[in-house]
Amino acid sequence: MNINTSIPWRERALITLPNASAVGGISISRLYEFEKEGRLRFRRLGGRTLLEVRSFIALIDSLPQWTPQTERTEAAVAARSAQAKQQWKEPTIAEETPRTLRMRE
């Protein structure tokens, strides 16, 4: 039997939990938590637990949009920037020169 493994995950009816974990960038444990919350549907087939792709796509589509700038992130970025500026020092010639070149001198 020839199984085509090049089918994109979105076009499959079911995918394995490790594959869903890799696609979503989350742990398998978190997939189980989403299932307990009713946000994902699992199926059993041949003794394996598989994830229903439609429910996974619905979960992904329901996620809020990421917004990079809030007051909290702006404050954190400003604090890190100020800290970096305080720690900044101009490199000396010895620090700029690669070690191999200094050895030849």
pLDDT of residue 33: 97
- pTM over 0.75? The answer is no
Residue that is written with structure tokens 């589509």 in the block: 61
pLDDT of residue 85: 80
In tens, the pLDDT along 10-27 reads: 999 999 999 999 999 999
Longest dimension (CA), the chain: 70
CA dist 53 and 60 (Å) reads: 10
Terminal-to-terminal C-alpha distance of the chain: 68
